[in-house]
A and B are shown apart, each in its own frame.
Chain A
Amino acid sequence: MFLKEFYTYRPKGAILLVAFIIVFVFLNIKWGAVAFPINVYGMYSGKYPLQDTQWVYKIKTGESFVDFTSLSMAERDKLQYSLDFYGKYKSNNVIVFNTMKRVLSTLIIGKLMEEEKYTPVADSIQYARWFNHLLSDILNKEIHSCLIYTQSYVWQMNQLNPVATPQKKYQFVSEP
């Protein structure tokens, strides 16, 4: 047996491997915070109901909307997730900071955690410049202003149908 042979050859190594497996299994059972490289490798294990409302971004530059279908998978993801991140990063970072600080406060580490390092806020002008630059790179043309809408879709009658009217979410304007 591999572990027995390993133990005979190098006991410390074998114990380390077994300890790793135990922690890996424990953190997976615990189902909460993780500690890289020990992670929950779910690979789409969550539930994804077909009936869920899907929110889709529509990006307007000038008079036209960006055609997401003409973009590569990486470009599409970059636009979509950048907007997702922008929408949630502030509240997410505050929640994570408070949780981790509380958990780690039993150790010295918690006391060393400074809020400003964990929850910096991007300047909205800076973000607008960054996003317009990203968009310019992807569309291969200069963009200094864009409007972001979100449109809800639902799966009905065997197809993806838009519901309600698109809602304006952000306007990014940057200097030329």
Chain B
Amino acid sequence: MELKKLQQQWNSFPEISMEERPVLSSDLEKIVVKNPLSDAFYLRKKIVLRVALISILWLLNGWQLRLQWMTNGRDLPQLIALFGLLSYSAYFHIRLLFFADYPTLLSLPLVTFLGKLETILDKYILSFKIMSWTAGFYILAAIEYLIYRINTDTYDSLSRNDWYKWLILIFLSVSIDILLLNTLIPRYRKLLITVRKYKEGIHAKAQNK
């Protein structure tokens, strides 16, 4: 590759073309308010939605926990575990949101930017595990409610056997986790691998220079 020849060709580009036309103020006004990140990279909306949902569930769970505490109910250990999980989940998502700091993300130097993007995607993939455990608790509650409506004796037997409930909970959570691993997670994982490969490629090239 000849730098001189390249420079000559660079200078020979037409001053004005359909591709490189002067920017109008009216166009700029529309562009400057646009979000530059595509849906694949911009997870803010999804995280905010999750934080809102978790907060509602956390409040409901807190209220239920208070009732069970006062009446010394049977579901107390389960509700305490769910309360802990929801609290951690809220902390994890809020932390991810603050860490990502989308408005300043694109102003970072390239390698730092790619590294941060990699961490965001990695933690977002990890958050699906928390979500599957949370979903496990709620699906178990739905199953319990269904059994209660169908057959009260079966419900009584199930609520007295804590071990069964915990085993069902583990089974449900692991199943949802596997389901997510095969449906939603692959596209984020693929994106994470591509970002990582790209960052490593930049590093390798820079090291050779």
Interaction A to B: no
A interface residue numbers (CB < 8 A to B) = none
B interface residue numbers (CB < 8 A to A) = none
